[in-house]
């Protein structure tokens, strides 16, 4: 019977070693998952903070838009009128690049400019033009999307030239830091 006990002891040692290894692997897996969970929690907190900032910005912008007088381009049906190209007069003629309306500051342009600055200020990181366009609730696909993205890009470029924004790389914009003092064309 001694030999039977030796076999049983050897079998139990094998089982103990197997479960010890399995327990060690599971402990390591738990450590790895806890690290991953901590990263997910950090990402969630960051996304929630961005969401809260953008939601507050949207609320502020929409409250300002509702309180202000209705501009001709803000009437229902005129949505993205400026992004669809130059308007034509009764004869079907469109404004030229030299037209006084081209680049004119209108309430709609001011509102778009304020929206862009608000998104850049609350984003916490540089944004691509498409991300900015999407954040302010404009279309980003199809012909309307292409026009809206181009209008947003021009607005961002104008903010860069006025020192309100920076373009760290082509098509990527961020709010200008208060201490940068960078104004394009300034001495």
Mean pLDDT for 63-72 is 55
Domain count along the chain: 2
Residue 118 and residue 182 in one domain: yes
Residue 121 and residue 57 in one domain: no
Residue 37 resides in a domain: yes
On the question of pLDDT at 138 being above 70, the answer is: yes
Alpha helices in 68-179 (DSSP H): 107-123, 129-135, 142-161
d(CA 110, CA 120) in angstroms, rounded, equals: 15
Q: How far is CA 42 from CA 39, 48, 144, in A?
A: 5, 10, 36
Residue 72 resides in a domain: no
Residue with the bigger pLDDT between 100 and 56: it is 56
Residue 182 and residue 122 in one domain: yes
Q: What is the pLDDT of residues 119-137, one digit of tens each?
A: 998 888 999 999 999 998 9
Residue 133 resides in a domain: yes
Last residue of a domain, one of 41, 66, 91: 66
Q: What is the pLDDT of residues 94-111, one digit of tens each?
A: 443 333 344 455 667 678
Residue 179 and residue 112 in one domain: yes
Residue 61 and residue 4 in one domain: yes
**Can you read off the two tokens belonging to residue 184?**
């394009």
Check which CATH number belongs to the domain holding 148 and give it: 1.10.10.10
Residue 140 resides in a domain: yes
Report the 10 Å Cβ neighbour count for 60: 14
Average pLDDT taken over every residue of the chain: 76
Residue 100 resides in a domain: no
Residue 117 is part of which domain span?
108-187
pLDDT tier at 48, thresholds 50, 70, 90: confident
pLDDT tier at 51, thresholds 50, 70, 90: confident
CA nearest to 145, candidates 129, 163, 158? 129
Q: pTM above the 0.75 mark?
A: no
Q: Buried (b) or exposed (e) across 114-148, using 16+ Cβ within 10 A?
A: bbbbbbbebbeebbebbbbbbbbebbbeeeebebb
**pLDDT-above-70 percentage for the chain:** 69
């Amino acid at each position: 019977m001694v030999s039977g006990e030796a076999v049983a002891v050897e079998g139990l040692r094998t089982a103990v070693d197997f479960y010890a290894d399995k327990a060690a692997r599971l402990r390591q897996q738990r450590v790895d998952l806890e690290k991953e969970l901590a990263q997910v929690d950090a990402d969630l907190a960051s996304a929630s903070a961005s969401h809260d900032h953008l939601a507050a910005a949207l609320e502020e912008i929409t409250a300002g838009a509702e309180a202000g007088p209705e501009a001709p381009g803000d009437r229902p049906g005129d949505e993205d009128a400026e992004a669809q190209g130059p308007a034509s007069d009764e004869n079907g003629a469109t404004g030229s690049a030299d037209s006084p309306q081209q680049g004119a500051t209108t309430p709609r342009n001011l509102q778009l400019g304020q929206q862009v600055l608000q998104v850049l200020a609350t984003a916490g990181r540089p944004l691509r033009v498409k991300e900015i366009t999407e954040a302010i609730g404009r279309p980003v696909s199809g012909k309307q999307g292409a026009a809206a993205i181009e209008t947003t890009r021009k607005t961002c470029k104008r903010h860069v030239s006025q020192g309100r924004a920076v373009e760290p790389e082509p098509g990527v914009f961020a709010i200008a830091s208060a201490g940068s003092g960078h104004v394009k064309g300034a001495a």
